[in-house]
Structure 1
Amino acid sequence: MHHWEAVEAFVEVMKQGSFSAAADRLKVSPSHVSRLVAKLESSLGVPLLYRTTRKLRPSQAGQRYYEQCRRLLEGLVSAEHAISAEAHEAVGPLKVTCATTFGERFIAPVLNELMLQHPRLSLDLHLTNRRVDLIEEGYDLAVRMGAMDDSSMLSRRLCDRREYLCASPAYLERFGMPHVLSELAHHRCLTGSRTRWLFQREGQRYEIRPEASWRSNSGPAQLDAVRRGLGIAQLPDYYVEPDLASGRLVSLLDQYRYPFSGVWLIYPRSRQRSRRLQLLCDALLARFADQVPWREAI
């Protein structure tokens, strides 16, 4: 509004009952307040105040205008306080997305604990293996696996992640142990959402697209199939490290294992000053700081 300052001056004059008292509140001169009100009256085309040597009184139009402008100013102050509270306190909504199994097992418990500590937060947790558009779909935070390749977003590394090629002892007893990558073409391969397996040896990167005899977009279903001896699969550490430690599964071709990839906290640049997002990131980083959760029971 082009005469917002004048509206604020008029409302303060009405509240205080004089130009001088309003000027003290606004920390300007009485003449400046008088000019602002006169300019407002000229713009509206009606008198708002009747001035006498003893006091001011509003016109009928001035009284109606005051009531409406007072509510507007009070609403503005209330809105500013609400936004300030969201920026500096743990108040308001959080919308988070993560891969399904990782989110169910390791992210949701941290978020739920945060909700208990800060009951003025509200949470929308969307678990999906689809790569969502954070800006378009209004997310505050995504937990993503692999390489960080989106320079338009801010990121913080949550933890490292390994990928293991593995099979059950029963499968290996029946079909034998592969010793080089080329031998995988003669084995039963189980794939998930990703159709390629990544390897590296002596700095050389290898990519294999196995001919799958079994495929599912569910990591737990793929793990169950490997445990039952249906074939060989490449799965992340949080699925298989407990089974590898117990001997239920066997790690294969370790000399070709791909180096660590990351798990990342990804958020839009516009969200970086949010107090609630800061609390969420700090809670997740603290949970993963010393040891990743899936290794605690090993």
Structure 2
Amino acid sequence: MYPWEGVSEFVAVADCGSFTQAARRLGVSTAQVSRQVRNLEDRLATRLLYRTTRKVSLTEAGRLYYQHSRSVLDGLEAAEQAVTNLQSSPQGKIRLTAPVTYGEDVVVPLINDFLARYPRLEITVHLTNQTVDLVDGGFDLAIRLGRLKNSSMVARKLASRTLHVCASRDYIHRHGAPHTLNELDQHNCLLGSNDFWRFREHGRERLLRVQGNLRCNSGKSLADAALKGIGLVQLPDYYVQHYLDEGSLLPMLESFQEPEEGIWAVLPHNRHLSPKIRMLVDHLVAATAPA
């Protein structure tokens, strides 16, 4: 009997709050995780976990054992990474998620650069505009845009974005440009996933319900519609900055523009930041920071 058998499985279950998610993280079967944790409890003659059909939680003894085990496993990983760093070659698996367009245009090319430098890594990137649960999904890292709603996450700022209201010269020639927020009622406002556009008026945020004849959850498609004179759009700069710079889209209502928002690398608060994850986040920060 090896004294550390079951410890990795127990810590993974404690981190994930689920035997199934722990098994997914470790790349083994749920039955194996359950068996190893049960053997560990038998060896310690102590119940470490409360199990119900809906959740798994730590007992008092489990919390104490977790604290010590977590620090030991972190030390072991740091020791392994220190040896790996002698060869400047981090290795292992990383799973991350990012929004589709920002992921395709910014994140994935930077991931490819990172992989070219460290080919012994194995990185899985899941692009989705849905806000996925990092723990349930077994993700090490997420790229999130704008305001962070979940305060239990650990976040590091990568860059900033600004929302722009803009339209083509052709649309403005035919319909005029709005100069106040109330004038938006008179315009065809192209919608994404929300019915509201966000502004800053008299120092306060104002959410304004707008209407139009196109709704699409693709920022690129909305930018294309605006370029073709169909209506106004409110989109982040990474969709429209090029068109604003060349003059094919014109900005408007700039005095009501919201301040810059963050673009973040987000990690679960109970997930140890391994050296390879730290190196990846450092790479993303260095590559996306303003010049």
Do they superpose with TM above 0.5?
A: yes
CA distance in 1, matches of 2:221, 2:198: 21
1:271 to 2:271 alignment: yes
Question: Which portions of structure 1, spanning 4 or more consecutive aligned residues, are displaced by more than 6 angstroms?
Answer: 80-83
1:168 to 2:168 alignment: yes
Verify the 8 A CA contact 2:77 2:274 in the aligned structure 1. Answer: no
> What's the CA shift for 1:242?
1.2
Could you list the per-position Cα deviations for residues 218-255 of structure 1 after superposition, in whole angstroms to 9, with x for gaps in the alignment?
A: 11111100000000010000111111111100101111
CA distance in 2, matches of 1:204, 1:135: 35
Query: Counterparts of 1:69-148 in structure 2 under 5 Å?
Result: 84-85=79-80, 89=84, 90-148=90-148
Q: 1:252 matched to which residue of 2?
A: 252
> What's the CA shift for 1:277?
0.4
Verify the 8 A CA contact 2:158 2:288 in the aligned structure 1. Answer: yes
- Please state whether the residue corresponding to 2:283 is helix, strand or coil: helix
> What's the CA shift for 1:97?
0.6
> What's the CA shift for 1:82?
7.6
Higher Rg of the two aligned structures: 1
> What's the CA shift for 1:171?
0.2
CA distance in 2, matches of 1:285, 1:143: 11
Residue identity matched to 2:132: V
Q: 1:206 matched to which residue of 2?
A: 206
Verify the 8 A CA contact 1:86 1:92 in the aligned structure 2. Answer: no
Cα RMSD of the aligned pairs, angstroms, is: 2.1
Q: 1:149 matched to which residue of 2?
A: 149
Structure 1, gaps ≥5 residues long = 6-79, 292-298
Residue identity matched to 1:115: L
Could you list the per-position Cα deviations for residues 63-98 of structure 1 after superposition, in whole angstroms to 9, with x for gaps in the alignment?
A: xxxxxxxxxxxxxxxxx9788535874221111111
CA distance in 2, matches of 1:266, 1:175: 42
CA distance in 1, matches of 2:196, 2:77: 49
Could you list the per-position Cα deviations for residues 21-73 of structure 1 after superposition, in whole angstroms to 9, with x for gaps in the alignment?
A: xxxxxxxxxxxxxxxxxxxxxxxxxxxxxxxxxxxxxxxxxxxxxxxxxxxxx
- Please state whether the residue corresponding to 1:214 is helix, strand or coil: coil
CA distance in 2, matches of 1:205, 1:290: 26
1:189 to 2:189 alignment: yes
Identity %: 38
Verify the 8 A CA contact 1:85 1:91 in the aligned structure 2. Answer: no
> What's the CA shift for 1:162?
0.2
Could you list the per-position Cα deviations for residues 258-292 of structure 1 after superposition, in whole angstroms to 9, with x for gaps in the alignment?
A: 1111111100134343011001100000001233x
Q: 2:46 matched to which residue of 1?
A: none
Distance 1:4 1:214, change over 3 A: closer
> What's the CA shift for 1:150?
1.4
Verify the 8 A CA contact 1:272 1:278 in the aligned structure 2. Answer: no
- Please state whether the residue corresponding to 2:214 is helix, strand or coil: strand
Structure 2, gaps ≥5 residues long = 5-74, 85-89
TM-score for the superposition, normalised by structure 2? 0.70
CA distance in 2, matches of 1:169, 1:109: 33
What is the aligned length? Answer: 216
CA distance in 2, matches of 1:290, 1:204: 27
- Please state whether the residue corresponding to 1:271 is helix, strand or coil: coil
TM-score for the superposition, normalised by structure 1? 0.68
CA distance in 2, matches of 1:222, 1:152: 33
